[in-house]
Structure formats: C-alpha cells, structure tokens
C-alpha cells in the first residue's frame, strides 16, 4: 500500500488521425515534430505519482501538454496509452457513470477562466458542486458559506459574478472547489489570468488553506516562479514530455538539462531557496564552559572577530567578540557567560527573501537555529548575496521579517543600552526573553545603521 493518491504510468495522448502509429514511431525514437501528419502528440510517456496531501505543480510553456495531462487525471480526456489510477482505481476500468461519480465526489477542478454561472449568486456558485453531489439546500448553503468566509468573501455572497473583480471571481471558483470537499484539487492555470499582485495574494492564500486542508493538489502553471513558490514537487514539461521533476530546490540547484537550466535562470531564488540550503558550517564555535583563552585562540585561528557560543546541550547561546574576550582574559575571568551577546538567528526553512534584512543589519553571519535551539550553520552575508546572484532585475520588493533574537542565559536581562541598540537595529520589539550579560553592548554584533524605511516596513 502506498500513500499515492494519483499514479500515472507511461501516459500518452495523441490527437489526430493515427494515434497508435504516432506512439509506435515515438517509442522507436522518432521526434514528435516528424509525426505531425499523423497526429499531435500532446502528452508523451508521462509517469509520476502524487502523494496524499502533496502540492504537485506541472509547469511548462503554452502548448507543452499541461491541460491535456490534467484532463486525463479526471477522465475528461481519455489516454491514448498508459494509465491513470486514482486511489488505486485505474480510470480505464471505470464506465462513464463511475467516472462521473469520481469527478463529483473525489476530484474538483479550478479553471483559468473561473467558469462561474453568471445568473447565480456567489453563494449559489460556491454551493454548486454540493448541489451536483445531491447535498440538501440547507447544508450546502452552510458549507458554501463557511468556505466563502475562509476566502474572504463573506460580504459578497449575495452578489453576482459580474459584480466581482477577477481576483474575487477566482476566489469563488476556489470556494466552489473547496466546498465540494473532494480529496483532490486540480487547478489549471487557476491564477494565470490575475494581475501580479492579486495573483501573489491568491498564491499565499492557497498555501495557507492547504496547510489546514491538506488536499492533494495538482496545479498547472506556465510561470516557473509560481511553480517554485507553490509546489512541494514540480514537474517541468516540454513538448509533451516531463523533462524533470523534483523539489523546487532540486530543480533550481541541479537542473536536469539545458532547457531547465535556461528556465531557472529567471527564477526568483529568494522565494525558493531556504536558509538550510545555503548555510555553511560554522568554524568559530566554542562551548560556553571553555573559557576566554580557548575562544580567543579559535578566533585567531579562524581570523574572525567573534565566536558562536554553545551550551552543554549544543544549544545556541549567542556570540562573543574578540574585544570582550580579551577583556575577560585581562580581568582574570574564566567564564564566557558574562559577555555572551545575542545575535540574529533564523529558522532553517526561512526563505532567502526573508533573510536579506536580518543579514543587512547583522555584522556577523546569521545563525541558523532549529526548533530545538541547536545551531545548524551560519550564513555570512557574502554567501547570501552569492546565493541570490541570479535574482532578475524584475524581482519585486523583498518582504521583510523581524528577525528572532535568541535568549542567552535565562533570567538575565538586557542592559538598557543594549536593548535600545537592538531594538533600533531590528526595528521592532525585542522579545522580553532576550538577554545579555550586564555591561555588554549589543552594537558589536548588530550594525545600527539599518535604513529607516526598512525599519518601518519591518513593523
Ligand atoms: N482537442 C484537441 N485536438 C487537437 N489538438 C489538441 C487538442 N487539445 C490540445 N491539443 C494540442 O495538444 C498540444 C498541447 O496542448 P495543451 O495540453 O492545451 O497545452 P498547454 O495546456 O500546456 O498549453 C498543443 O499542440 C495543442 O494544440
Ligand atoms: Mg493549458
């Protein structure tokens, strides 16, 4: 038993006069462009599985066969060869009635051009799938209402589609699909007709919804940025074939061929790559118990002015500077604890787009810290910039987050001065749990000159 909800094996769709002949020639190695007299090979030898709860994106240029492929997943197109199984049932074994039942109960589809019924209200449109399923009127109104509320259309339920903007109409399309409460959601260029800003909003909303709903989604797009942003896995199609499938990071960092490589040149890496994928091992690490001399020796060896400090459980405590450590040695203090300062850390799954601002305000590499407080690696600013190297000039304004500042010794409190510097640099509330040894200042580790406009946006 696998967790695969959709299984596609050696699937072909050929339109035209001699479909079987086309497949035979293709398997003998012919190129589809030589066979146009015999038929159009829209999908060629596609194989993949989609697991329960997975967000699977099929990306390709117009004409590459995406719509033909997705229409075979719910039986709207009959395969010329190969098979599609949904929950272990081969669609080829179902009769027309069983296919219709499958489409009603298990698979919903959202289209590029909304396909709303103009003479029905928003509520009636959203309830349409339930009506087809035979759900009684009271229940379908209630369920449709609940979904409309989730997509932000609560106040629009009595309006007609013509009174809504494109973005709102597509929310109705999405609500209709979600209200039907099917396991599988097929979305064919669902956001492609929307303005970039609305589209971005819809992408984010869909991901939010998916977090709760855990549907099995197949999403089609011709936009690689959209594919990379949404997909758990992405299949890249070209001329009817899937030329690569993998996680967005796989595709970005290891394109299977020149075609994919050329595509990904234009991808906004900042929205795909995560802290984990670019972080580097931290050379300058010391145990808090190891004392100032060890710390200073390490800093000299590594030629760095700071060291990352871990406690016994390898949990991240903060950083120490060469200046402070030297002072401890002069003063004969053997414990590093009093000069450990907070530094800016980020989670391993944060997107590079969200690391730019913390990186700008931090004089030292960002620490990458997991949920258990363990230091996984560091991201020097140069590394971040290099990783972002292929961001196109059209990249939109980069979102900004308030970085997390880690606690040091429990029970310690920030000196007023350090608190002010940190707050200023980070541009927001410093969490009360942030602590720093008395007498230490934070300015050694956090550059105070963060631009004012960034500071506003961070709030
Ligand atoms: N019903 C059809 N009859 C003939 N050719 C078709 C039909 N549907 C699609 N095609 C052809 O199949 C190829 C793939 O089309 P399609 O799946 O719509 O691509 P995409 O959705 O990626 O733009 C195109 O060459 C298209 O012209
Ligand atoms: Mg299409």
Residue nearest to ligand 1 atom 8, measured at CA: 68
Q: Using the atom order of ligand 1, give the atom closest to the CA of residue 61.
A: 22
Residue range 269-282, pLDDT digits in tens: 888 888 998 899 88
Q: Give residue 424's pLDDT.
A: 45
Residue 423, helix vs strand vs coil: helix
- The pLDDT of 198-219, averaged and rounded, is 91
Residue whose structure tokens are 């500071």: 455
Would the CA dihedral through 256, 257, 260, 262 be positive or negative?
positive
In terms of pLDDT, which residue wins out, 437 or 238? Answer: 238
The gap between the terminal CA atoms of the chain, to the nearest Å, is: 48
Residue nearest to ligand 1 atom 11, measured at CA: 42
Residue nearest to ligand 1 atom 20, measured at CA: 63
In 139-153, which positions are buried (b, 16+ CB within 10 angstroms) versus exposed (e)? ebbebbbebbebbeb
Q: Give residue 432's pLDDT.
A: 34
Residue 181, helix vs strand vs coil: coil
Lowest-confidence pick of 146-155, 207-216, 270-279: 270-279
Give the range with max mean pLDDT: 27-31, 280-284, 389-393, 450-454: 27-31
- The pLDDT of 131-141, averaged and rounded, is 92
H or E stretch covering 231: none
Q: In whole angstroms, what is the distance from residue 398 CA to residue 396 CA?
A: 6
- The pLDDT of 382-387, averaged and rounded, is 84
**At 2, is the pLDDT very low, low, confident or very high (cuts 50, 70, 90)?**
low
**At 140, is the pLDDT very low, low, confident or very high (cuts 50, 70, 90)?**
very high
Closest-approaching ligand to the CA atom of 188: 2
In terms of pLDDT, which residue wins out, 401 or 46? Answer: 46
Question: What SS3 string covers 292-344?
Answer: HHHHHHHHHHHCCCEEEEECCCCEEEEEEEHHHHHHHHHHCCCCHHHHCECCE
Q: Give residue 447's pLDDT.
A: 41
Instruction: Name all residues whose Cβ lies below 6 A of ligand 1.
Output: 15, 40, 42, 60, 62-68
Q: Is 243 within 8 Å of 260 (Cβ atoms)?
A: yes
Residue range 290-313, pLDDT digits in tens: 889 999 999 999 889 999 999 988
DSSP tag of 274: B
Query: 222 C-alpha to center of ligand 2: Å?
Result: 8
Q: Using the atom order of ligand 1, give the atom closest to the CA of residue 220.
A: 21
> In this model, does residue 243 exceed pLDDT 90?
yes
Nearest alpha carbon to residue 299 among 327, 318, 320: 320
Lowest-confidence pick of 166-170, 199-203, 352-356, 431-435: 431-435
Q: Give residue 1's pLDDT.
A: 52
- The pLDDT of 5-29, averaged and rounded, is 96
Q: Using the atom order of ligand 1, give the atom closest to the CA of residue 68.
A: 17
**At 362, is the pLDDT very low, low, confident or very high (cuts 50, 70, 90)?**
confident
How many H helices and E strands in the chain? 18, 17
Nearest alpha carbon to residue 367 among 318, 325, 303: 318
Closest-approaching ligand to the CA atom of 59: 1
Q: Give residue 137's pLDDT.
A: 94
Q: Is 426 within 8 Å of 362 (Cβ atoms)?
A: no
- How many other C-beta atoms lie within 10 A of the C-beta of residue 312? 8
Residue range 255-271, pLDDT digits in tens: 888 888 887 777 778 88
**In sequence order, which residues have a C-beta less than 8 Å from that of residue 206 and are 6 or more positions away?**
174, 230
The pTM of this model reads 0.70
**At 423, is the pLDDT very low, low, confident or very high (cuts 50, 70, 90)?**
very low
DSSP tag of 366: E
CA distances 453 to 353, 404, 449, 456, Å, are 17, 20, 12, 5
> In this model, does residue 434 exceed pLDDT 80?
no
> In this model, does residue 406 exceed pLDDT 90?
no
- The pLDDT of 172-197, averaged and rounded, is 90
Closest-approaching ligand to the CA atom of 64: 1
- The pLDDT of 176-180, averaged and rounded, is 91
Query: 64 C-alpha to center of ligand 1: Å?
Result: 8
Residue range 326-345, pLDDT digits in tens: 999 999 998 898 999 999 99
């Amino acid at each position: 038993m696998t967790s695969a909800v959709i299984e596609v094996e050696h699937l072909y769709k050929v339109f035209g006069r001699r479909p079987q002949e086309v497949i035979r020639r293709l398997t003998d190695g012919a190129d589809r462009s030589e066979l146009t007299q015999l038929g159009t090979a829209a999908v060629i030898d596609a194989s993949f599985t989609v697991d329960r709860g997975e967000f699977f994106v099929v990306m390709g240029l117009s004409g590459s066969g995406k719509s033909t492929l997705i229409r075979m997943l719910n039986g709207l197109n009959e395969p010329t060869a190969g098979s599609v199984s949904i929950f272990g049932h081969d669609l080829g074994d179902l009769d027309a009635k069983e296919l219709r039942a499958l489409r009603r109960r298990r698979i919903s589809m959202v289209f590029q051009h909304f396909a709303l019924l103009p003479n029905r209200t928003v509520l009636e449109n959203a309830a349409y799938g339930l009506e087809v399923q035979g759900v009684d009127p009271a229940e379908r109104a209630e369920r449709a209402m609940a979904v409309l509320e989730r997509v932000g259309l609560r106040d629009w339920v009595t309006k007609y589609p013509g009174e809504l903007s494109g973005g709102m109409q597509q929310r109705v399309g999405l609500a209709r699909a979600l209200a039907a409460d099917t396991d599988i959601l097929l979305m064919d260029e669902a956001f492609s007709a929307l303005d970039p800003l609305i589209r971005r909003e819809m992408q984010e909303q869909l991901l939010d919804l998916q977090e709760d709903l855990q549907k099995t989604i197949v999403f089609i797009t011709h936009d690689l940025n959209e594919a990379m942003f949404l997909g758990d896995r992405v299949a890249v199609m070209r001329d009817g074939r899937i030329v690569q499938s993998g996680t967005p990071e796989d595709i970005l960092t290891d394109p299977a061929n020149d075609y994919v490589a050329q595509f990904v040149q234009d991808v906004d890496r900042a929205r795909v790559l995560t802290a984990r994928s670019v972080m580097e091992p931290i050379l300058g690490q010391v145990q808090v118990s190891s004392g100032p001399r060890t710390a200073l020796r390490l800093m000299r060896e590594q030629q760095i002015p700071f060291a990352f400090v871990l406690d016994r459980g390898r949990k991240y405590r903060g950083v120490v500077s060469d200046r402070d450590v030297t002072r401890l040695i002069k003063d004969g203090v053997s414990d590093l604890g009093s000069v450990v300062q907070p530094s800016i850390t980020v989670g391993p799954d944060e997107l590079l787009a969200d690391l730019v601002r913390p990186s700008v305000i931090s004089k030292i590499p960002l620490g990458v810290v997991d949920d258990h407080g363990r230091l996984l690696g560091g991201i020097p600013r140069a590394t971040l910039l290099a990783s972002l190297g292929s961001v196109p000039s059209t990249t939109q304004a980069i979102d900004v987050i308030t970085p997390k500042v880690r606690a040091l010794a429990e029970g310690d409190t920030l000196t007023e001065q350090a608190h002010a510097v940190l707050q200023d640099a980070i541009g927001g509330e410093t969490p009360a749990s942030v602590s720093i040894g008395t007498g230490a200042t934070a300015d050694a580790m956090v550059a105070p000159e963060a631009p004012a406009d960034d500071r506003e946006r961070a709030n």
